[in-house]
Amino acid sequence: MNTLLLVIALLLAAAMLGAAWVSIRVHRVATAMLAAGLVSLFASVMFLLLAAPDVAMTEAAIGSGLTTFLFFFVLGRVRGGRDD
């Protein structure tokens, strides 16, 4: 693995930790869900750096796209559009 790619991977790992910390520390459900989507985004780029492009594509489509969309859709339906 290239040294530069290793540095990028370490940066992404630190960013994943930061986003996960935000996700468990924050009080609003919407922000926590956004932070979880961010963890998924970084995980997808990390998969790509670990030479697994098909896994990265699936993670990008399902984890970062569909899960975030579905969570906000359901959250909007459950609470009747009201924010807590």
Partner 1 sequence: MVEILIMLAAGITGAAFLLALGRFVLGPSRFDRVVAFDVLTVIAITFIVLAALLENRGIYLDAALVYALLSFLGVIAIARYLEGRF
List residues near partner 1 by CB under 8 A: 2, 4-5, 7-8, 11-12, 15, 18-19, 22, 28, 30-31, 34-35, 37-38, 41-42, 44-45, 48-49, 51, 53, 56-57, 60-61, 64-65, 68-69, 72-73, 75-77, 81-83
Beta carbon of residue 48, minimum distance to partner 1 (angstroms, whole number): 6
CB of 5 to partner 1, least distance (A): 6
Structural contact between residues 43 and 35, judged by C-beta atoms closer than 8 angstroms:
no
Q: Tell me how far, at minimum, the Cβ of 74 lies from partner 1, in Å.
A: 9
> How many Å apart are CA 14 and CA 70, to the nearest integer?
27
In terms of C-beta density within 10 A (0-12 exposed, 13-18 middle, 19 or more buried), how is residue 59 classed? buried
Task: Please name the residue that has the structure tokens 């750096």.
Answer: 49
